[in-house]
Amino acid sequence: MVTELAEPFAISLPAVSRHLRVLEGAGLIRRSIDGRIHRCSLAAQPLRDALEWLDRYRPFWEQTLDALSRYVEGDA
């Protein structure tokens, strides 16, 4: 439930609801409504898709950042 999700955070319930709407709009959570009770569940597939995409570029960025680090440290 949304109130349970909001409990550990020092922000208002409306602010938590706004954050959840953004996550819902991004397809990262699903919300079911039963009267006044809103239940949220994680939609993990979009996160898996993002991880797969990032993994394709990981070697490139690791090499690039390593080269940048060597350049900066050699220049320092």
Selection from 45, 41, 16 nearest residue 30 by Cα: 41
The reported pLDDT for the residue numbered 75 is 64
* Domain enclosing residue 14, as ranges: 1-43
Query: Mean pLDDT throughout 7-20?
Result: 89
What is the separation of C-alpha 42 from the centre of its chain, rounded to a whole number of angstroms? 11
Model pTM score? 0.61
25 lies in the same domain as 50: no
For residues 38 and 50, membership in a common domain is answered with no
What are the φ and ψ backbone dihedral angles of 42, each rounded to 5 degrees?
-75, 135
Instruction: Tell whether 19 and 50 lie within a shared domain.
Output: no
Same domain flag for 66 and 53: yes
The mean of the pLDDT values for the chain is 90
pLDDT value for 39: 87
CA separation, residue 62 to residues 44, 50, 69, 75 (Å): 26, 18, 10, 20
Q: What is the pLDDT of residues 19-45, one digit of tens each?
A: 999 999 999 999 898 998 888 899 999
